[in-house]
Amino acid sequence: MLDTFDLTDPLARGLVQHARALGEALAGFDGDQDDADDLIALVATLEDLKCRAEGAQVVASAAFDAAQRAEQAAAGVPVERQGQGVGLQVALARRESHHRGQRHLGLARTLVGELPCTLQALRAGRISEWRATLVARETACLLREHRAEVDQRLGDDDLHSWGERELLGELRRIAYRLDAESVVSRRRHAESERTVSLRPAPDTMTYLTALLPVAEGVGAYAALTRAADTARADGDERSRGQVMADLLVTRVLSQPDGGRPQIPVTVNVVVSDQVLLGAGDGDTGGSAEVDGYGPVPGSLARDLTTAGPEVAVAIRRLYARPAEGGLVAMDSRARCFPAGLAELIRLRDRTCRTPWCDAPIRHTDHVRPVADAGFTTATNGQGLCEACNYAKQAPGWTQQVVDGLRHEVITATPTGQTYRSAAPPCPRPAAVTESPADRRYELSQRCDLSRRAGSPLEMALARHLHAA
């Protein structure tokens, strides 16, 4: 199939033009002049078209992967490194994170190479990409010939008409009949991937999630449930869910049961001085940025930084320029400048700087490599996740910093596509009075940015000395 679909063929370019024309027509549709029958028919037709488009994306992604690997092989890239960076290019094209781009590319290779019947159903618009993903995922542990048998055994009617739970159950039953040992090995592998994760929730809450083997997960939940029921029976006024949540935290932190946990914390707060001191628009005015979570009301930031003596709180404040929100300085107990600079970059960027990637920062990377005379400064630094940093080591990737008050990087892929990434703005007061001297200094700084490679921390120190 890859031999009949080449991204350099005029057919692909023609499809791009037709797709753009269709997109413009759909953008102009408002539905005000249509009757109900036509509207619901359009919904069904667009769903069919969406599935067909996902099928075309699968074929194009697999063909692109083959083409990139061939180019890398011709350039002498070692076999074990061929394909590096392809998933990230797919992710950027689909406006997804690197992790999801890798999943999309893996699905494309699987459907094209091992599940042709499922791919045909997707390209015909009878199933969605998610349903095709379920088939690929539940057959991943099988040998190639067994996977092909499952692909042929599931007819279009089954894939199209079954509910998701019914489809998953049938896939697992077939897989177990064909290769019970592989299914058992898959379960053991899944148990080895047990982990705990944290992600933001609405209203300044978080989701603390544990991925556990079924027996351990059910047992832990049952223990919390029994303890909560006992506390409620003894007169605890908290709700059952509140007691379970508090018990989870106190037991993890080895604290006594029976109340709200007291947690020693280190809070990295990006905040303006007016918000920190409560001098904004009223007592609750302004906002701050808590590292690892995101924006929080100014009142919560002040509560965190003024906790009572029973809670050991280490505060690391990071200050932003009031006018444009650029991060310029921080006070910290860090003694080693490189470590402090890396911390400043991480707190400035917050998550991986690759567009559409929200993964945590694991590496502090040089935008312009040291081998190409790049400096180790905040201006030439960016925070990346491990996968994105390694992907950009493939041949053909280039990056450069854009001069400006907010840190911005332009990334060019091996195929010439460019993407811009700007550091998120820092909280600042709503209204700022700037003196003429400040304005003259900012203008001189803008002119000087193109002539020197200084970090924002260095620029803040220079401005402080200038004012003195």
Give tens-digit pLDDT for 170-184.
888 888 888 888 888
355 and 293 inside one domain:
no
Of 41-55, 251-265, 333-347, 366-380, the poorest mean pLDDT is in 333-347
Q: Would you give the distance in Å from CA 294 to the centre of its chain?
A: 14
Percentage of residues in the chain with pLDDT exceeding 70? 71
Residue 220: what pLDDT? 93
Q: Taking residues 222-241, what's their average pLDDT?
A: 91
Amino acid at 169: G
- Residue ending a domain, choose from 150, 176, 191: 191
Give residue 307's pLDDT: 55
Q: Which token pair is 399?
A: 């990056």
Q: Report, as an integer, the average pLDDT of 228-242.
A: 91
Same-domain check for residues 30 and 42: yes
User: Is the same domain home to 175 and 199?
Assistant: no
pLDDT at residue 380 tops 60: yes
More confident residue, 172 or 110: 110
- Give the pLDDT of residue 294: 67
Alpha-carbon dihedral angle through residues 254, 256, 262, 264, given to the nearest 10 degrees: -30
Residue 446 has pLDDT above 50, yes or no: no
Q: 243: which 2 tokens?
A: 């007691």
Does any domain span residue 271?
A: yes
Q: Which of 209, 228, 252 is the last residue of a domain?
A: 252
List phi, psi (to 5°) of 297: -60, 150
Confidence of residue 290 (pLDDT cuts 50, 70, 90): low
The answer to the question of residue 258 being in a domain is: no
Q: What is the pLDDT of residues 75-88, one digit of tens each?
A: 999 999 999 999 99
Please report which confidence band the pLDDT of residue 466 belongs to, taking 50, 70 and 90 as the band edges: very low
Phi/psi for 419 (5° steps) reads -140, 140
Torsion of Cα atoms, 418 then 420 then 421 then 427, to 10° = -170
User: Are 235 and 270 members of one domain?
Assistant: no
With contact defined as beta carbons under 8 Å apart, do 82 and 65 qualify? no
* Domain shared by 244 and 274, yes or no: no
For residues 342 and 395, state if they share a domain.
yes
Phi and psi angles of residue 281, each rounded to the nearest 5 degrees, phi first: -80, 80
Is residue 257 in some structural domain?
A: no
Band (48; pLDDT cuts 50, 70, 90): very high
Percent of the chain with pLDDT over 90: 39
More confident call, 355 vs 429: 355
CA distance 163 to 130: 12
Mean pLDDT along residues 439-452: 46
Find out whether 110 and 122 touch, Cβ atoms under 8 Å: no
Residue 269 sits in the same domain as residue 173 = no
Reply yes or no on whether the pLDDT at 259 is more than 80.
Answer: no
Q: Are residues 15 and 148 in the same domain?
A: yes
Name the domain count of the chain. Answer: 4
Report, as an integer, the average pLDDT of 376-380: 82
| CA 240 vs CA 209, 225, 244, 363: distances in Å | 19, 8, 6, 41
In a domain, 245, yes or no: yes
Q: What is the rounded CA–CA span in Å between residue 206 and residue 141?
A: 34
What's the average model confidence in pLDDT over 14-31? Answer: 88
Q: What is the mean pLDDT of the chain?
A: 79
Instruction: Clarify whether residues 57 and 185 are in a common domain.
Output: yes
334/454 same-domain check = yes
Say whether both 291 and 158 belong to one domain: no
pLDDT band at 421 (very low <50, low <70, confident <90, very high): very high
Q: What is the pLDDT of residue 433?
A: 52
Which of 144, 174, 191 terminates a domain? The answer is 191
Residues 9, 76, single domain; the answer is: yes
Q: Who has greater pLDDT, 463 or 173?
A: 173
- Answer for the pair 126, 51: CB distance below 8 angstroms, yes or no: yes
Residue 259 lies in a domain: no
Judge whether 359 lies within some domain. Answer: yes
Does residue 34 fall inside a structural domain?
yes
Residue ranges making up the domain that contains 67: 2-191
